[in-house]
Amino acid sequence: MFKEENLPGKSLLLVGSKMSKSLKIINHITVISVLFFLICPLVLFAADTDEIKRDLENQIKQKQEEIDQHQDKIQETQGKAKTLNNEISILEEQIKKIRVEMNQIDLTIQKSTLNIQEIDKQIETLEQSVDEKKKLLAEYIRIFARYDQETLLEVILKNEKFSDFFDEIKAFETIQEEIHSILEAIGQLKEILLEDKEKIKVEREEQNILKSFQMVQSRSVESIQNQKESILNKTKGEERLYQQMIQGVEKDIIYIKEQLSLLERYNITINEAVQYAIFAASKTSIRPAFLLGVLEAESRLGINVGTGNWKEDMYQCYRKLGYITTAEKQKKAFLQICKSLGINPDTQPVSAEPWYGCGGAMGVGQFMPATWLAYADQVAGLTGNNPPNPWNHKDAFMASAIKLSQGGADQRTEVGERTAYGKYLGGSNYQKWMYHSVTNKVISLANNFQKEYFD
């Protein structure tokens, strides 16, 4: 118990009681002061950020209106006779639309960057708050230790009244309660910190997808521009020559080259891709055209597909970002997959580290190792390959089909497919992706595949 040698004739209880009350007052004042100085800059920062974000949101909406206008013109022209002028007009509108989409993505990335800055600021504030509470905790523990130096008998003998003794016991209990309260508060703050760090991870992954899509769009502009110039060169601007050209096979060749980058990246023939899609879709009740659309989009978005190594691009990357648990989890899963397949993990390519986030995705389905293991048993049951192989096209198509089916694609409606791809990209944050330009591209690809191969 607390010992005060310089206060003869005074009750230890009175000292303990007063000190306890003083410490409680100091505690509340300190906490309020800390919160005031920590939160005020955050509130001011948030107010400024909110205004900027509102402005960005308005610009994003304006860009969407422009995109819709270009799309309406494209559809209107597509409904007209297939002439050279109309074809050139469609291509020019497509270029304009894509460029506006790229501008819209720039604005969305700016907004995402502000979100990250906001969360970073909050994490910094929370960490300061945790430090302050740890200091308070150390002070209470020090006082608790001083109280605990004397025995119960010593305290009774030194107090003139029993009421003083009981008051001191109460003060002692108060100190214990304060210690417990601060420990609880630290625990809660740490939980919030973990949630905020997860939010940053999600924001960075979203930025990665958007930047990849922006690069895809840039290549699409080049492709359409080249297509336009090719048509003009071959027809010399004459309608008669254009009509002859579109009656030949060149249109189909252009379509296949434009739509299936899967052929380039994964060495799959068009017939194989369609057959894998039909097989996987038949087992999961989704549209094979939608599955092709998703995998084609993933192939395009995976700019760094198959150019990375698990150690540097996945394991070390996660560790550098502070995601130690994730790093160990993905490492364990990857080594398990490679061991079961008899593959050397050090020579097996995975996706390289992108602009934000980390690499490590495998095969045409672009599954992370831990996610692949979650679907492995279902894939094995449907393909008969046990263990299933993420670099085997049949298994990869099946895994993607299972995931999309569970996400809502088995409904075979546009809303169901949008929801499924939203979940494929963003998990629990799927709603932000449902009507995003990235998902619009998947739906467009799926519709093209449907028309070309299945209708």
Distance CA 425, CA 429 (A): 9
17, pLDDT greater than 50: no
Backbone angle region of 7, left / alpha / beta, with phi > 0 → left and psi within -120 to 50 → alpha: beta
pLDDT attached to residue 342: 96
Residue 411 is classified by DSSP as: G
Distance CA 292, CA 285 (A): 14
Distance CA 283, CA 274 (A): 14
Residue 362 phi, psi dihedral angles, 5° rounding: -120, 135
Distance CA 109, CA 124 (A): 22
Of residues 21, 17, 19, 10, the one with CA closest to residue 159: 10
Q: For the segment 270-328, what is each residue's pLDDT rounded down to a tens digit?
A: 788 889 999 999 999 999 999 999 988 887 766 556 788 999 999 999 999 888 999 99
**Tokens read off for 369:** 């190792």
Helix (H, G, I), strand (E, B) or coil at 367: strand
* Mean pLDDT along residues 71-100: 85
User: Where is average pLDDT lowest: 7-16, 58-67, 442-451?
Assistant: 7-16
Distance CA 11, CA 42 (A): 46
8, pLDDT greater than 60: no
pTM of the model: 0.61
Q: For the segment 207-249, what is each residue's pLDDT rounded down to a tens digit?
A: 777 777 777 777 777 777 877 888 888 788 888 877 777 665 4
At the top level of CATH, the class of 262-302+361-454 is mainly alpha
- How many CB atoms sit inside 10 A of residue 32's CB? 10
Distance CA 318, CA 31 (A): 35
89, pLDDT greater than 90: no
Confidence of residue 157 (pLDDT cuts 50, 70, 90): low
Question: Do residues 404 and 424 touch, judged by C-beta distance below 8 A?
Answer: yes
Nearest 5 degrees, angle CA 209-CA 294-CA 96?
60
To the nearest 5 percent, what fractions of the chain are helix, strand and coil?
80, 0, 20
Ranges of each domain in the chain: 12-245, 262-302+361-454
Residue 359 is classified by DSSP as: -
Q: For the segment 47-77, what is each residue's pLDDT rounded down to a tens digit?
A: 677 888 888 888 888 888 888 888 888 888 8
Distance CA 423, CA 417 (A): 10
CB within 8 Å of 307: residues ≥ 6 apart: 349, 351, 352
Confidence of residue 418 (pLDDT cuts 50, 70, 90): very high
Question: Do residues 375 and 399 touch, judged by C-beta distance below 8 A?
Answer: yes
33, pLDDT greater than 90: no
